Chain A
Amino acid sequence: QKEVEQDPGPLSVPEGAIVSLNCTYSNSAFQYFMWYRQYSRKGPELLMYTYSSGNKEDGRFTAQVDKSSKYISLFIRDSQPSDSATYLCAMSEGSGTYKYIFGTGTRLKVLA
């Protein structure tokens, strides 16, 4: 079993839809959770960074962490064609651990 599981997609939605992207994980020691957006042939861009459980909102993006279920989500409201990209989740134990564990990414297509 991989430490972090993420559906590869592709996920196709119409413009304006609410998008839900998810990752599950097996390591209960993870405390720091990140979402990245990666356009084709570009480096990943950090979208959201959260610590422990709870919600965090930034514009059209909301990140949710449920540590009891080992499940994290990224919601995109009013999706736009420019949101079409691959979304990667990443996690870290912190506390002096230097490693970040990544999901394989979900490809999102927002259709105009």
Chain B
Amino acid sequence: SQTIHQWPATLVQPVGSPLSLECTVEGTSNPNLYWYRQAAGRGLQLLFYSVGIGQISSEVPQNLSASRPQDRQFILSSKKLLLSDSGFYLCAWSVLSGTSGASEQFFGPGTRLTVL
């Protein structure tokens, strides 16, 4: 069965510090990978998605970046955190179905980031 891991679970960082959040998926090949941010009362905001190694699409211009160095690894980074980067960061995966064109999307446990 498929499993998705995220770490760290919780992070407190000062403004201006760098960030690296990691996500790995087990039990599937060539997944589509996603980074979302969830702010209280504002729903899920899609930040990045990737359909393959080295292929990153950005949805929101900001000081965050994403990389996919391996098929099942997705990394969210920042060189200098802002207060507004605080939130709950979720990694997700899906597999594009050849027949239906879509599949369910599954989420990781999330990383709660507080920038002080």
Q: A residues near B, CB below 8 A?
A: 8, 31-32, 34, 36, 41-46, 49, 51, 88, 90, 92-100, 102-105
Complex alpha-carbon distance, A43 and B111, angstroms: 9
Q: Count of B residues near A, CB < 8 Å?
A: 26
Known: A42-B109, A43-B107, A43-B108. A31 touches B102 (CB 8 A): yes
Chain B residues touching A, majority SS: strand
Contact residues in B for A93 (Cβ distance below 8 Å)? 102
Known: A42-B110, A104-B42, A104-B43. A94 touches B100 (CB 8 A): yes
Contact residues in B for A36 (Cβ distance below 8 Å)? 107
Q: B residues near A, CB below 8 A?
A: 6, 32, 34, 41-44, 46, 49, 51, 57, 88, 90, 94, 96, 100-102, 104-110, 112
